[in-house]
């Protein structure tokens, strides 16, 4: 899938993974997340928690928002907080993404942008140092895109890492870029 791929990030840095459709951006993020096995080479994390894998220290937000339509907004976030091993500030996380007033609404009634913001609330509800974001601004309006950019800047300012697969800018100042080539 990949050959000759090499990148490094330090505390507080972001890497935008760009390239044409099918170039492997999502596959790279899934590999770092531990969802795809590495066929050859190494993936290492210096620092972090030595007793945890990279995937246990990362948030992976893919194309789909992974929400249960019959659960409320708050119940969906509570499920993910429990699943991810945390009991973070759910009300604060919902407020940060502009969903505080919708906590009792079933997720089935959310717009695409609201669903995406609920997925982003996981980043706040459970702290993990690595954020793997696949098209994080998809379906977000300009106000929500600015909220996302603020969340990312805050995460980086606290020493976090971000790998984001994207086709366009996501509001970060001078991130590193890894451009993947077109498939063979």
Q: Are 152 and 170 in contact (CB under 8 A)?
A: yes
Residue 1 has pLDDT above 70, yes or no: no
Domains of the chain, by residue range, sit at: 14-179
**Per-residue pLDDT band at 45 (split at 50, 70, 90):** confident
What's residue 182's pLDDT? Answer: 56
Q: Domain 14-179 class?
A: alpha beta
Question: 42-76: string of b/e by CB count within 10 Å (b at 16+)?
Answer: eeebeebeeeeebbebbbbbbeebbbeeeebbbbb
Query: pLDDT digit string (tens) for 59-74?
Result: 999 988 899 999 999 9
How much is the pLDDT for 85? 86
Task: Give pLDDT, residue 35.
Answer: 93
What is residue 82's predicted lDDT score, i.e. its pLDDT?
Answer: 93
Least confident of 81-95, 122-136, 154-168: 81-95
**Looking at the DSSP assignment, which residues form a beta bridge with residue 72?**
106
pTM of the model: 0.93
C-alpha 132: how far from chain center:
4
| pLDDT of amino acid 110 | 98
* The pLDDT value given to residue 107: 98
Contact predicate 163/58, CB 8 Å: no
What is the reported pLDDT for 139? 94
Q: What is the per-residue pLDDT across 148-158, written as a single tens digit (0 to 9) for each?
A: 999 999 999 99
Burial of 118 (0-12, 13-18, 19+ CB in 10 A): buried
CA distance linking residue 119 with residue 148, whole number of Å: 11
Contact 152, 171 (CB under 8 A): yes
- Report pLDDT for 11: 94
Q: What was the pLDDT predicted at 40?
A: 85
The pLDDT mean for the chain works out to 92
For the stretch 72-118, pLDDT in tens is: 999 999 999 999 987 778 999 999 999 999 999 999 999 999 999 99
């Amino acid at each position: 899938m990949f050959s000759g791929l090499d990148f490094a990030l330090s505390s507080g840095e972001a890497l935008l993974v760009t390239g044409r459709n099918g170039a492997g951006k999502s596959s790279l993020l899934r590999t770092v997340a531990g969802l795809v096995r590495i066929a050859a080479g190494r993936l290492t994390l210096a620092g972090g928690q030595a007793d945890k894998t990279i995937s246990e220290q990362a948030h992976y937000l893919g194309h789909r928002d992974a929400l249960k339509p019959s659960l409320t907004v708050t119940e969906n976030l509570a499920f993910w907080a429990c699943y991810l091993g945390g009991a973070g500030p759910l009300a604060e996380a919902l407020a940060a993404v502009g969903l505080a007033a919708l906590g009792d609404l079933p997720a089935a009634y959310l717009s695409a942008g609201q669903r995406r913001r609920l997925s982003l609330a996981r980043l706040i509800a459970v702290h993990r140092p690595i954020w793997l974001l696949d098209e994080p601004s998809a379906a977000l309006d300009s106000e929500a895109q600015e909220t996302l950019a603020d969340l990312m800047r805050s995460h980086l300012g606290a020493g976090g890492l971000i790998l984001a697969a994207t086709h366009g800018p996501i509001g970060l100042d001078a991130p590193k870029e890894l451009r993947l080539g077109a498939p063979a």
